[in-house]
Chains A and B, each alone.
Chain A
């Protein structure tokens, strides 16, 4: 039982990696950016846990702006993804404009 689940887990893992490798390069760049933003947020949370949350304003603003950039980048990825059927007719310039206005 355990062995089958671990074998399944490995198979799953490999299939995930192979499927992800198939995504186009521009989407992978956006994903990298999202990872970067989230890791910055995690670093801030770890720092707060260690040092204490005294200027709570700065903790809150830093955390929320990191999460915000991550969310906005995900939105951009959603809208740029060619496989996404609902967004196929927007020119890229419009998307960049909306993203920049949000940031």
Chain B
């Protein structure tokens, strides 16, 4: 009778639970979508920053010309005169996804523009990523943990920062692909089904299409397989989960033009092949052990070890020689800088100069993953009770992503899903323990049976010993992770909360006795946990609204008489678009290349792709040279207009004068006559009256500060907080054609060479001003010599 009741009750409860979970997931998707809409509400529906403009332009081309033209597209409006093969150098996943969405919507006669689809791609895919996190965590720990992890991921600020509405960048879809691939791998590992292994390979293909960070997947999964083999957890499910992924995944990855043959030739993929071979060896060993008697097996082992090792060493030596012969040992520059963080600053200054590639500071961890930083160690401990293949995988994931996020701040984005999964597991275990205590206490009181609420343990001495033993075991485990976070008191609170969890899980293994806490303690702890989550939500919403929603193409400032909007960038690009010829070339620093081609629709010399260091160094040299030499360099590149960004009037700190030292360094790396110490006075970078003459005469100084003294009479630069050194000067080779409203964008035109030279012979040209005409009369000097 009681059994039937509970059976009916439990199935009803299960159905109710499923419906509730479904509605919670819908709500989580809505949260993930709407928290990213702050930028659209506060500013407008516009594409942000720099890289998204390139993706937007590529998507425009795709929607206008179709996929075959897109695949074979050679773009001649960037990197003049070299051009760029877009089809072969771009990761097509994002643009193909947005293009497909636009095409589907248009075939339903919903006329959304390409820009709208591009702006809202990221929020839509972040909702998908939250659902994928739910699926992944459900495979590891169960539905409760899954829902918590999904809710945490929907709001985590690190992910919001790269996926607000308008941030149309690769990571918007790549993080979804990453989590979904991991989910399919764990599912294939748990069930041993070839169906999920195939889906895993297809999802991995989507990840390869989307982001260069796919190498993380193809190295993490082999690492996990190796871990399973070493810890003795080899099973045939492991084989089914991993082996098809390697073969199918490599085949599919080689299909993407960006990757091409790199899928089998670069060191980033070798780990997967190595583990593939090791897995087959292990599988063979297990198979032979299964069909042969133990004595024969020992004989086989000695035979194989003696013969096989010799062969192995020979092959490995050949391979190592091949790899060591290449200067970077087969790794690409970006991957090497992940393994050796000092590599980029020594050898490739362009990679070192990107602010996203710097190591993060400690406060940025708290800003980006907030409360999760404390919950992660608790989650790691919870994963060990019990340790399964799936939980060892997520532990490996979080450990490696913590290391990589410490190297490059951009990779905090990869840490965010791992932190959410761990915290979700920790929170759900804690909630389960407390609610179980409360339920037991309440039921115990209503049945008037054994323990009064004052008891903290059930009533045998044996369990007291077990409690002491588990305490001793957990303390050393928890001490090590607790060193990682800053707030020790919160960690002690978590320790106290984790103890009942561990005790209860131990208990359920030994006997069926439940360990409960006092009613008041668990109630208070529950309230505190809910408060913790409340703080997290408040922080996430604040971060999304204030810190990460700025489109950086429109700037705002709050003065006492309201909000002031600086729309100078779009003003400058619109001027270029309407007042110059279609084929005019514009030179600027590489930061603004993508925006110039997308918004102003003019050919640029260098852009954000930074694939050709010499070309960038040429532009850097031109900016660092005096006017005449710069004019020579620019006219050899057919440049008509030069664009500089200047923030000194309004205090915009990311202008070209602040970036100037990078121009000098990169230019000096290729052209040795540009020396950085020439521009520094006593090792200090100054632009005031104490600056070096090289600095005061270089093109960047002149183009930034031309006529600047007319604004306030003294030429006070608000960013550098000094008066400028050279105030009154004329430009001899450039004409100022446009300065935006707040002087942030300044455009100059190259003056055409003089038609007629005064004076006929060399003898009459004794003045200094005629030196230029003498040079223009003789061969035009080649700037490359």
Contact = CB atoms under 8 A, between A and B. Distances in A.
A9 B301 CA distance: 11
Interface string A42-78: 0000000000000011001100110110011011101
Contact of A98 (B193, B254, B288): B193
Contact of B299 (A11, A23, A65): A11
Nearest to A7: B299
Interface string B183-215: 000000000111101100000000000000000
Given A68-B247, A101-B198, A75 B240 contact: yes
B768 interface: no
A60 B193 contact: no
Contacts of A22: 291
B292 A64 contact: no
A28 B726 CA distance: 88
A15 interface: yes
A87 B247 contact: no
B239 A9 contact: no
A60 B240 CA distance: 22
A98 B195 CA distance: 5
B303 interface: yes
B247 A71 contact: yes
A40 interface: no
A74 B239 contact: yes
Nearest to B241: A75
A65 to B, nearest CB: 7
A5 B303 contact: yes
A87 B239 CA distance: 13
B396 interface: no
Given A67-B247, A78-B240, A87-B192, A98 B198 contact: yes
Contacts of B81: none
Given A78-B240, A98-B193, A102-B197, A64 B296 contact: no
B297 to A, nearest CB: 9
Contacts of A20: 291
Given A9-B299, A12-B303, A67-B247, A79 B292 contact: no
B248 interface: yes
A17 to B, nearest CB: 11
A15 B296 CA distance: 8
A55 B418 CA distance: 41
Contact of A102 (B198, B235, B239, B293): B198
B227 interface: no
Contacts of B292: 12, 15-16, 19
Interface in A76-98: 76, 78-79, 83-84, 86-87, 95, 97-98
A75 B235 contact: no
A86 B296 contact: no
B437 interface: no
Interface in B149-208: 192-195, 197-198
Interface in A1-49: 5, 8-9, 11-12, 15-16, 19-20, 22-23
A101 B250 CA distance: 18
B599 interface: no
Which interface class (under 10, 10 to 19, 20 to 34, 35 or more) fits B? 20 to 34
Given A12-B303, A68-B247, A68-B251, A60 B192 contact: no
B291 A60 contact: no
B247 A78 contact: no
Interface residues of A, number: 36
A98 B293 contact: no
A73 B288 CA distance: 18
A97 B193 CA distance: 11
Contacts of A65: 251
A19 to B, nearest CB: 4
Contact of B244 (A16, A68, A86): A68
B288 A99 contact: no
Interface string B264-293: 100000000000000000000000101111
Contacts of B299: 8-9, 11-12
B236 interface: yes
A72 B288 CA distance: 20
Nearest to A20: B291
Contacts of B247: 64, 67-68, 71
A8 to B, nearest CB: 4
B198 A64 contact: no
Interface string B297-313: 00110110000000000
B588 to A, nearest CB: 39
Contacts of A23: 291
A86 B236 contact: yes
A60 B261 contact: yes
Contacts of B251: 60-61, 64-65, 68
Contact of A72 (B194, B261, B296): B194
A57 B302 CA distance: 41
A65 B240 CA distance: 17
Contact of A99 (B194, B236, B261, B302): B194
B192 A86 contact: yes
Contacts of A67: 247
Interface in B214-250: 235-237, 239-240, 243-244, 247-248, 250
Nearest to B291: A19
Nearest to B194: A98
A54 B197 CA distance: 32
Nearest to A83: B290
Contacts of A64: 247, 250-251, 254
Interface string B341-384: 00000000000000000000000000000000000000000000
A102 B261 contact: no
Contacts of A98: 193-195, 198
A57 B261 CA distance: 8
A101 B251 CA distance: 16
A11 B296 contact: yes
B244 A102 contact: yes
Contacts of A97: 195
A79 B237 CA distance: 9
A78 B242 CA distance: 14
Contacts of A86: 192, 235-237
Contact of A75 (B244, B261, B293, B300): B244
Nearest to B201: A102
Contacts of A5: 302-303
Contacts of A76: 194
19 contacts: A12-B292, A12-B300, A12-B303, A16-B291, A16-B300, A23-B291, A64-B251, A68-B248, A71-B247, A72-B244, A75-B197, A75-B240, A78-B240, A79-B192, A83-B290, A84-B236, A95-B194, A98-B193, A102-B248
Given A79-B192, A87-B192, 17 more contacts: A9-B299, A11-B299, A15-B292, A15-B293, A19-B292, A57-B254, A60-B261, A60-B264, A67-B247, A71-B244, A75-B194, A79-B240, A86-B237, A87-B236, A95-B194, A98-B195, A102-B198
Interface of B: 192-195, 197-198, 235-237, 239-240, 243-244, 247-248, 250-251, 254, 261, 264, 288, 290-293, 296, 299-300, 302-303
